[in-house]
Amino acid sequence: MMALRGLAILLLLQAAGEAIVHAVSLPFPGPVVGLVLLLPALGVAWIREPVAAAAELLLAHLSLLFVPVGVGVITHLHLVSEYGLRLLVVIVVSTWVGMAATALVLRALLGKPGVEDTERG
């Protein structure tokens, strides 16, 4: 029941986000605005508790939610056959570049003497 109430709040905030995006033509997707709206609201206990229950359920099964979109690959098999190998190289290499850049930058920034130690917190 708690998670259900939380899901209702999440959907309401997503809807509010979509409405704001359309009204002010913001460059954000609706759910992102919903996320930003939810952050301060989490200070309120009767919002926080149901949202926490729903969020933990949704985020625990986050990878399931990507399956329907992922299966959409089959509608682009012609691209795969045309650019398949090159696309794979682009996606794999750029993902490694992104991960390595983020990790090295963050380690350098957090590792500075006087700045917080990585092991803490």
Partner 1 sequence: MDDFVQLWVYLSSTPLFGLTATLLTYAAAQAVYDRVGRAPWANPVLWSVVCIGLVLVATGTAYPTYFAGAQFVHVLLGPAVVALAWPLWLRRAEVRRRGVALTVAALLGGLAAAGSAVGMAWLFGMPPDILRSLAPKSVTAPVAMGIAERIGGVPALAAVFAVLTGMVGALSAKYLFNLLRIDSWAVRGFALGTASHGIGAARALQVHADAGAYAGIALGLQVVLASLLTPFVFHWFR
- Residue from 69, 78, 113, 114 touching partner 1 (CB under 8 A): that is 69
**Cβ atoms of 12 and 56 closer than 8 Å:** no
For partner 1, the binding residues in 10-29 under the rule CB under 8 A are 10-11, 13-14, 17, 27-29
**Cβ atoms of 53 and 2 closer than 8 Å:** yes
- Residue from 74, 78, 113, 114 touching partner 1 (CB under 8 A): that is 74
Report in angstroms the alpha-carbon separations of 67 from 4, 59, 72, 120.
23, 14, 9, 36
In the complex, minimum distance from the CB of residue 41 to partner 1, in angstroms, rounded to a whole number:
8
- Residue from 4, 22, 79, 84 touching partner 1 (CB under 8 A): that is 79
Q: What is the DSSP letter of 119?
A: T
- Residue from 2, 4, 49, 83 touching partner 1 (CB under 8 A): that is 83
Residues 39-68 as x/- pattern, contact with partner 1 by CB under 8 A:
x--x-----x--xx-xxx-xxx-xxxxxxx
Which pair of tokens denotes residue 97?
A: 């570049």
Q: What is the DSSP letter of 117?
A: P
